[in-house]
Structure 1
Amino acid sequence: MIFGTLPSGETVQRVELSSGRLRAEVLTYGAVLRSLEVGGLDVVLGLDTLEDYLTRSRYFGAVVGRYGNRVAGGRFTLDGREHRLPVNNGPNSLHGGTEGFDRRVWTITARTATSVTLELTSPDGDQGYPGTLTASVTYTLDDDALRLDYAAETDAPTVLNLTNHSYFNLTGGGDVLGHVVRMEAGHYLPVDDGKIPTGELAPVKGTDFDFTEPHAVGDRLGGAYDHCFVLDGGVEVTAGGLTMRVTTTEPAVQFYAGGMLDGVATPYGPFAGLCLETQHFPDSPNQPHFPSTVLRPGERHTSSTAYRFTA
């Protein structure tokens, strides 16, 4: 089903998926998860038109890459060679640069009633990243869960950090400050003023970042979370009688409570939705003691994240 046409003439498709009480819509633009209904309640923030995604989106529902999150100074060195990236977040590069994967039209390569696979080829030098990269994401509904499976291969050494940037609101409206979060994460990454990790893996115990016992998003820091947590297990969010449990093969999750959403620039105001971006650590290419995000020829990157819903 056609969702719209870009100024370039490229057509953007909308795919509907269904399984049990779950319904989803996925766009080929940005591999966006436009909606996710649980028993008729839409729990992700979506936009009405393609024009909105071009001009009013803050990565709503998109797959971001090549490198999700921030790369300090818009540069990194790999195998002795420095690579420079577009800076679009102060002095840093965020979510793949000015024309990242969220702004590309992906190709549908497989589709069933419950799943769709989308693929994107990123050429050598794209946004400053080396190597021609082929990436894919598969959205699958399974009764009470949505699973995202990522895969990627390259023909030259590169770095990679794919994630999905959906904003969740389990009540379908209002803000998420009352959503209760429990996170199996004993450490988080402190950041500097540019939100670049300092390199420390800090214990959460005794801090405002301790979600090992459940508490509401707005209970501490006024909900001003935009931090990476090192996962020991999963994450649970509960609101309005609905619980979402997030599990992943990735080592971390960026928890962003949506505090910087702008109700003028986007259709949604502050704290309208929260993000749980499962991923590797921010700025890993510049911090060698972090888990490696290097992908080399002959290797195949795979990762999986599931969102399971219970009443």
Structure 2
Amino acid sequence: MSQSPVLPEKDSYGQLSDGRDVYRYSFTNSEKVTVRVIDYGCVITDILVPDKDGNIDDISIGYDKIEDYEPNPRCFGSICGRVVNVISNAKFVLDGKEYKLPATFSSYENEESKHAIHGGVKGFHLKLFSSWIEGDKVNMKYVSPDGEEGYPGELTTIVSYQLTNQNELVIEYKATTNKPTIVNFTNHAYFNLQKHDYPNIDDHVLQISAEKYTVNKEDDIFIPSGELRDVAGTPWDFRKPVRFRDRLKDGPHGKGFFHNFCLGESGPLKHAATLDHPPTGRRIEVRTTEPGMHLYTGCNTIPHTKGKEGAVYEPFCSICLETQHYPDSPNHENFPSIVLRPGEQFYSKTIYKFTLIPQ
């Protein structure tokens, strides 16, 4: 017997500083899982799930109100685009023409920004999408004009959210363009399966279905070198479950993980990762059509950040499992292409399933 779909409910989430209305959509399923999203930045504001004893906690980092999400410097829970992650030296070449982007990121403190990241100065995480309910889905749409943040082509993007009674949060992305351009989306949710305000992820256990990862440069530790290296024998081997307490500081220069893992061909829906928290029994299973997943462990870019319910977020308090194409793809011919042309449709699907560790 099939279960009824989980229908979202709409309410107001306040107004932006320019007076535009922001709307929130709430899903609650038969298993007492609740997910809330807003149409500013397509942000997931809350993910409430039961633990093994039935206690319900919010496992996603974020803010309480729109005034804090409006700047959202850490991209908490948001969609990132047009191109997530880094583009080295803030430029790329498409069909023989060089495009320059705003330089907003540096790999080192006190160094002048020289790379592009997460779509620019005002990427999709800072855009108000139009939104509407369609059956058991919430659709959010944004039309990015030709040349916005340096990217060519008018890009029309629709992001949809759906929660099932199987505890699956389904995120779908569709995009079309009127000129050749580049596209790479992700959702930037930060998870802590103990509770969003817990200070660390030491007891989390991660498994990633990847035989290779993209190596970062030695002299620019967040920028891919172009090499795809076997994970075997390295700190990046998560093929078997690894407890973070035993591995967390093995990332670049002791700053945790900021690395892309190679999952296979783009298109088929496949297992990407499983994140467990044995003390609470909570589990997240990640499946995606994307060829990569970026593992980000909060590093030093969350310095004493005030969040929801009075929480204060510190480095290494959360983990991001960002399904996407590889970082800096336009500048590496051996990476899967993120070029989108007129007449084509970009499509991507990621599923986060919230469940319990089998006993």
Interval containing the TM-score (normalised by the shorter chain): over 0.9
The residue number in structure 2 matching 1:286 is: 331
The residue number in structure 2 matching 1:296 is: 341
The residue number in structure 2 matching 1:259 is: 299
Q: The residue matched to 1:285 in structure 2 has which SS?
A: helix
Matching of residues 40-51 of structure 1 within 5 Å = 40-51=56-67
Displacement of 1:272 in angstroms is 1.8
Question: Greater CA deviation, 18-27 or 94-103?
Answer: 18-27
| Deviation digits for residues 92-151 of structure 1 (CA, Å, limit 9, x no counterpart) | 000001100000001113344x42110111000000000000001111101211010110
Distance 1:56 1:31 in 2: 12
Q: The residue matched to 1:218 in structure 2 has which SS?
A: helix
Are residues 107 and 74 of structure 1, via their aligned partners in 2, closer, same or farther at CA, if it must alter by over 3 Å?
Answer: same
The residue number in structure 2 matching 1:236 is: 274
The residue number in structure 2 matching 1:28 is: 39
Displacement of 1:293 in angstroms is 0.2
Distance 2:182 2:334 in 1: 15
Q: The residue matched to 2:225 in structure 1 has which SS?
A: coil
Distance 2:246 2:317 in 1: 16
1:190 aligned to which of 204, 215, 219:
215
Distance 1:217 1:128 in 2: 38
Where structure 1 has 5 or more consecutive residues not aligned to the other structure, the ranges are none
Displacement of 1:194 in angstroms is 4.6
The residue number in structure 1 matching 2:70 is: 54
Displacement of 1:218 in angstroms is 2.8
Whether 1:13 and 2:51 are equivalent positions in the alignment is no
Distance 2:132 2:12 in 1: 16
The residue number in structure 2 matching 1:83 is: 99
The residue number in structure 1 matching 2:111 is: none
Displacement of 1:168 in angstroms is 0.8
Give the share of equivalent positions with the same residue, in percent: 39
2:139 aligned to which of 110, 117, 120:
117
Distance 1:220 1:109 in 2: 43
Count the aligned residue pairs: 310
2:289 aligned to which of 234, 249, 266:
249
Distance 1:156 1:266 in 2: 41
Where structure 2 has 5 or more consecutive residues not aligned to the other structure, the ranges are 1-10, 51-55, 107-113, 251-255, 265-270, 308-312
Distance 1:221 1:168 in 2: 15
Question: Greater CA deviation, 39-48 or 134-143?
Answer: 39-48
Distance 1:115 1:171 in 2: 28
Distance 1:180 1:282 in 2: 25
Aligned partner letter, 2:133: A
What's the TM-score once normalised by structure 2's chain length?
0.83
Q: Is the 8 A contact 2:158 2:173 kept in 1?
A: yes
Distance 2:346 2:207 in 1: 29
Q: The residue matched to 1:60 in structure 2 has which SS?
A: coil
Distance 1:14 1:166 in 2: 16
Whether 1:222 and 2:222 are equivalent positions in the alignment is no
Are residues 38 and 55 of structure 1, via their aligned partners in 2, closer, same or farther at CA, if it must alter by over 3 Å?
Answer: same
Q: Is the 8 A contact 2:29 2:164 kept in 1?
A: yes
Q: Is the 8 A contact 1:56 1:265 kept in 2?
A: no
Matching of residues 83-232 of structure 1 within 5 Å = 83-90=99-106, 91-112=114-135, 114-143=136-165, 144-172=167-195, 173-174=197-198, 175-192=200-217, 193-222=220-249, 224-232=256-264
Are residues 126 and 56 of structure 1, via their aligned partners in 2, closer, same or farther at CA, if it must alter by over 3 Å?
Answer: closer
Q: Is the 8 A contact 1:217 1:257 kept in 2?
A: no
Q: The residue matched to 2:169 in structure 1 has which SS?
A: strand
The residue number in structure 1 matching 2:110 is: none
Distance 1:310 1:24 in 2: 14
Q: The residue matched to 1:277 in structure 2 has which SS?
A: strand
Q: The residue matched to 1:189 in structure 2 has which SS?
A: strand
Displacement of 1:14 in angstroms is 1.1
RMSD, matched Cα = 1.4
Question: Greater CA deviation, 300-309 or 55-64?
Answer: 55-64
What's the TM-score once normalised by structure 1's chain length?
0.96
Q: Is the 8 A contact 2:72 2:126 kept in 1?
A: no
Q: The residue matched to 2:170 in structure 1 has which SS?
A: strand
Q: The residue matched to 1:168 in structure 2 has which SS?
A: coil
